[in-house]
Amino acid sequence: MQTTGVQHSLEGDTQAVQRLVRAETSDPHALLGVHRLQWQGAEGLVVRAFAPAARGARLHVVGSEPQPMQQVHDGGLFACFLPDATLPLRY
């Protein structure tokens, strides 16, 4: 997997998260959805979802068991890291 355009934070850019939570973003998909990620020494994909009223979230990747998503911001941002996963991801 190439490292160009790879993110390095499970929760994403702090300022982008704040804009999303305050409903001030014009580009939510720059943060949400699937993104390449290098995290904790591994490369893979991160999937982020915004669900402000949710107490939890699960990621359903086609062909795999559902996985819990980690709440990475109290405003309702959830993320799940999939090490070694590649694009395209069907979920």
| Structure confidence by residue, pLDDT tens digits, 16-52 | 999 999 999 999 999 999 999 998 899 999 999 999 9
Q: Is the pTM of this model over 0.85?
A: yes
Contact indicator for 80, 41 with CB cutoff of 8 Å: no
Structure tokens at 31: 């943060």
Residues of the chain above pLDDT 90, percent = 86
The mean predicted confidence, pLDDT, of the chain is 92
Rounded CA gap, 56 and 73, in Å? 12
Structure tokens at 55: 């107490």
Q: How many beta carbons lie within 10 A of that of residue 46, not counting itself?
A: 22
- Residue 5: predicted pLDDT: 67
DSSP conformation class of 56:
-
**Is residue 6 very low, low, confident or very high in pLDDT (cuts 50, 70, 90)?**
confident
